[in-house]
Structure 1
Amino acid sequence: MRIRIKTLALAALATLGALPTLVLAQDNWPNKPISLIVPYPPGGTSDVVGRQIAQRLREELGQVVIVENRAGAATAIGAAYVARAPKDGYTLLLSAGTTFTVNPHLNDKLPYRLEDFEPVALVCTVPFAFVVKKDFPAKTLKEYADYARANPNKINNATNGQGSMVHLLGEMIATGLNVKMTQIHYKGAAPAMADIMGGVVDSNVEALTNAVPNVNAGQYRALAVLSAERQALMPGVPTFRELGYPDIQGETWYGVFAPAGTPKPVVDKLNGALRKITSSPEFVESMRKIGNEAKSGTPAELLSSTQEQSKVWGGLIKRLNITLQ
């Protein structure tokens, strides 16, 4: 008994002795390079956003921030990597909304959960536009809806893949307009965009990043945007809401997450740095140029928004019985 008591006492003293070191480590954070995991291949919008954030975090924190692209399995590979990383603030995830709001409703065997992460801060949102091929007979959203009702299932609407955000937004539009469209699933945004430019498909939901230059060049036409307000890069294009469809609204976003259990002082310092970055005129303009909208907020706000959007997309997926094929 005495030996056991002595052992426990020594363990307690060792733990207490380690506390100053732990506190010091938090106070000195960051004192080594930080890895920002982008769960997509290089070159896409997410990669551009990630490198913008990394560069500005480097300036704000005075420490190297390395972007690591760990793509695959609809972001699950990158997300799982961060979920298993040490809880010290040196491995972060730049997540798209779908990682936590869509994927869990399509795959019940994901190697991560939202509870495995500590939300840090929202970075930006990605608005979408509803576009039609340049020679499509409808010139307005009303004409599109009338044409679709007169020709059920004859309109081919492109998506970026079964269960993608673009697919869900396309289904939201069909439901909201009370029309029947045939969803054509592509393996990514590039082939879907190529086919609407080529007139192979009739309509598509596109991120403003892709839509703006092609609409301006006359490759196809935009009928409405899915954001709450009109977009500065498409000022002449109305929102679904102002056209009488308030329920047709959706966007995706990028936010920074850390492994669950990351010390609060580290999360708070990182949140403060990110909020300063995302509210700066330079970052706002850099996002505007690629069709995104800079955003900021608290960890609690990011968590709440993620949970709310998860309910919205989960409800739509269940109602329409959408599955991965």
Structure 2
Amino acid sequence: MIGLAAIRRGLTCSALAITLGFAAPAQADFPERNITLVVPFPAGGTTDIVARIIAGQLQGEYGKSVIIENRGGASTAIGTVAVGKAEKDGHTLLFTAATTFTSNPHLLPSIKYKLEDFAPVAMVVKVPFAFVVKKDFPAQDLKAFRDYALANPGKINNATNGAGSTVHLLGEVVARGLGVEVQHVHYRGAAPATNDMLAGVVDSNVEALTNSAPNHKAGQYRALAVLSDERLPQLSDVPTFKELGFPSVVGGSWFAVFAPAGTPQAVVDKLNTSISRIVRSPDFARRMQEIGNEPAAMTPAELATYVRNESDRLGTLIRDAGITVE
């Protein structure tokens, strides 16, 4: 028979264990040291610019340095793999774009990482795109473009930023959504593709808002529709594909923060709260509007679901279109 004293001792130990169990995950002292935010792109690009804004705000909130480490190369794999192998304590984070987890796994089967190696922390921005045509293209609106494309199958040259790039995939989304055939012309990056659009060398392109808004307003080329769910303030005169009767033509890119899988949930939640507060601030919204991005906060669970859905959607597109990269 167990005595009353033994029962009391057991209850006391259990209470202490419960108390410690709640205290440990609280992570009230996070961060304990400087945070490294790995950007798997070279310095100076839009991803890097947004990461530095977030880093500066986090540094002010946490009172610890938030160091940007640019580790570009291998289609973001070098930096991504490094973060996946880092300590699972929230002090090394990944700030990356959509391709890392949505298209790369389907285009680059030999990559050494997978989404399950990471804990989604926070969405930061969405990157809107517009479908544009050269200024002397014979079609003045999307209906006329579709009619022209149907009458001239495969004769429209559509610029991309490279085979398998976000712009290539979105160009395929547009073509399939409209039910037309275009000839994709692959460039080595956004700058040469945009330059040939401006020069009228190619007929169409899917341009990020950063370029499409000012060039459309200046009459350098014409934006026929945007691929976002709603009209964009920077291109308020340009309808969405949904408005024009093509609801499947939706897409874009995004930037988000990830931690190594196994990072304590309390740390992930604290980071999400801090980053989401920054993302929702008027100052951040103003700075993103200047760049052409849309602030977009999500919980870790919402981000995880969003990334999986986008990966499934693009995986289907890549397989159906037979898209490959060399």
Report if TM-score (shorter chain) is over 0.5: yes
Distance 2:270 2:317 in 1: 37
> What is the match of residue 240 of structure 2?
239
Does the Cα contact within 8 Å between 2:35 and 2:65 map onto a contact in 1? yes
Map 1:181-196 to 2 at 5 A.
181-196=182-197
Q: Deviations over 1:130-179 (max 9, x none)?
A: 01111111110011111111111111000011011110110111111111
> What is the match of residue 6 of structure 2?
none
Map 1:297-308 to 2 at 5 A.
297-308=298-309
Give the RMSD, CA atoms, in angstroms: 1.6
Map 1:253-268 to 2 at 5 A.
253-268=254-269
Identity %: 58
Does the Cα contact within 8 Å between 2:150 and 2:181 map onto a contact in 1? yes
> What is the match of residue 312 of structure 1?
313
> What is the match of residue 209 of structure 1?
210
> What is the match of residue 91 of structure 1?
92
Alignment of 1:49 with 2:43, yes or no, is no
1:297, distance to aligned residue in structure 2 (A): 1.4
SS at the partner of 2:233? Answer: coil
1:44, distance to aligned residue in structure 2 (A): 1.2
1:27, distance to aligned residue in structure 2 (A): 2.9
Aligned length: 307
SS at the partner of 1:86? Answer: coil
1:72, distance to aligned residue in structure 2 (A): 1.0
SS at the partner of 1:93? Answer: strand
> What is the match of residue 9 of structure 1?
none
Does the Cα contact within 8 Å between 1:156 and 1:181 map onto a contact in 2? yes
> What is the match of residue 134 of structure 1?
135
Distance 1:175 1:268 in 2: 39
For 1:63, give the aligned amino acid: K
Distance 2:251 2:187 in 1: 20
Does the Cα contact within 8 Å between 2:25 and 2:266 map onto a contact in 1? no
Question: In structure 2, do the counterparts of structure 1 residues 167 and 24 end up closer, same or farther at CA, with 3 Å as the change threshold?
Answer: closer
Q: Deviations over 1:21-41 (max 9, x none)?
A: x94993311121111111111
> What is the match of residue 61 of structure 2?
60
> What is the match of residue 144 of structure 1?
145
For 1:174, give the aligned amino acid: A
Map 1:56-135 to 2 at 5 A.
56-135=57-136
Distance 1:63 1:217 in 2: 44
Map 1:213-228 to 2 at 5 A.
213-228=214-229
Distance 1:53 1:39 in 2: 16
For 1:83, give the aligned amino acid: G
SS at the partner of 2:235? Answer: coil
Distance 1:60 1:288 in 2: 23
SS at the partner of 1:139? Answer: coil
Q: Which runs of 5 or more structure 2 residues have no equivalent in the other structure?
A: 1-16
> What is the match of residue 4 of structure 2?
none
SS at the partner of 1:184? Answer: strand
Does the Cα contact within 8 Å between 1:61 and 1:273 map onto a contact in 2? no
Alignment of 1:31 with 2:37, yes or no, is no
Distance 2:44 2:218 in 1: 22
Which ranges of 4 or more aligned residues in structure 1 deviate by more than 2 Å? 22-27
Alignment of 1:178 with 2:160, yes or no, is no
Q: Which runs of 5 or more structure 1 residues have no equivalent in the other structure?
A: 1-15
Distance 1:144 1:41 in 2: 37
Distance 2:232 2:317 in 1: 25
Distance 1:202 1:61 in 2: 49
For 1:226, give the aligned amino acid: L
SS at the partner of 2:256? Answer: strand
> What is the match of residue 269 of structure 1?
270
Distance 2:256 2:178 in 1: 31
Distance 1:320 1:34 in 2: 41
For 2:257, give the aligned amino acid: V
Distance 1:134 1:273 in 2: 44
> What is the match of residue 5 of structure 1?
none
Distance 2:68 2:233 in 1: 30
Does the Cα contact within 8 Å between 2:224 and 2:239 map onto a contact in 1? yes
